[in-house]
Amino acid sequence: MTMKTEILTLLRESGDYISGQELCNRFQVSRTAVWKVMKQLQGEGYIIEAIRNKGYILKENPDVLSLSELKSRIHNCWAGREIYFHEETGSTNIDAKRLGEEGAPHGTVVVADQQNAGRGRRGRAWESPAGKDIYFTILLRPGFAPDKASGLTLVMALSVVQAIEKKCGLQAGIKWPNDVVVNGRKVCGILTEMTTETDYIEHVVTGVGINVNLEVMPEEIKNTATSLLLEGGRKIARAELLQEVLERFEVNYGAYAEALNMEPLLEEYDAHLVNRDRQVRILDPKGEWEGIAKGINRLGELIVDKGGGQLVEVYAGEVSVRGLYGYV
Binding site for ligand BTN (CB under 6 A): 91-93, 115, 118-121, 124, 126, 135-137, 179, 189-191, 207-209
Rounded CA separation 149/268 (Å): 19
CB of 189 to ligand BTN, least distance (A): 2
Q: Cβ(109)–Cβ(100) under 8 Å?
A: no
Q: In the chain, what is the straight-line distance between the N-terminal and C-terminal CA atoms, in Å? A: 43
CA distance 89 to 135: 10
Q: How far is the CB of 115 from ligand BTN (least distance, A)?
A: 6
Of 139, 142, 160, 1, the closest CA to residue 80 belongs to: 139
CB 15 → ligand BTN: shortest distance, Å? 32
Whose CB is nearest to ligand BTN? 189
Q: How many CA atoms lie within 13 A of 274 on its CB side?
A: 27
Q: Bridge-partner residues for 321, per DSSP?
A: 282
Q: Which of 182, 269, 191, 176 is nearest to 224 (CA)?
A: 182
Q: Residue 284 Cβ, how far from ligand BTN at the closest point, in Å?
A: 19
Is residue 248 within 8 Å of residue 163, measured between CB atoms? yes
Q: How far is the CB of 90 from ligand BTN (least distance, A)?
A: 8
Q: Mention every residue, 6+ apart, whose C-beta is less than 8 A from residue 63.
A: 45, 213, 235, 236, 237, 238, 239
In one-letter notation, the amino acid at residue 97 is: K
- Which residue's CB is nearer to ligand BTN, number 15 or number 123? 123
In angstroms, give the least distance from the CB of 174 to ligand BTN. Answer: 12
Pick between residue 20 and residue 100 the one whose CB is nearest to ligand BTN. Answer: 100
Question: Would you say 23 or 205 has its CB closer to ligand BTN?
Answer: 205
Q: Which is nearer to ligand BTN, 201 or 210 (CB)?
A: 210
Which residue lies nearer to ligand BTN by CB, 121 or 141?
A: 121
CA distance 185 to 179: 9
Beta carbon of residue 156, minimum distance to ligand BTN (angstroms, whole number): 10
| Residue 283, H or E segment | strand 279-283
Which one, 137 or 213, has the nearer CB to ligand BTN?
Answer: 137
Comparison of 267 and 318: residue with beta carbon closer to ligand BTN: 318
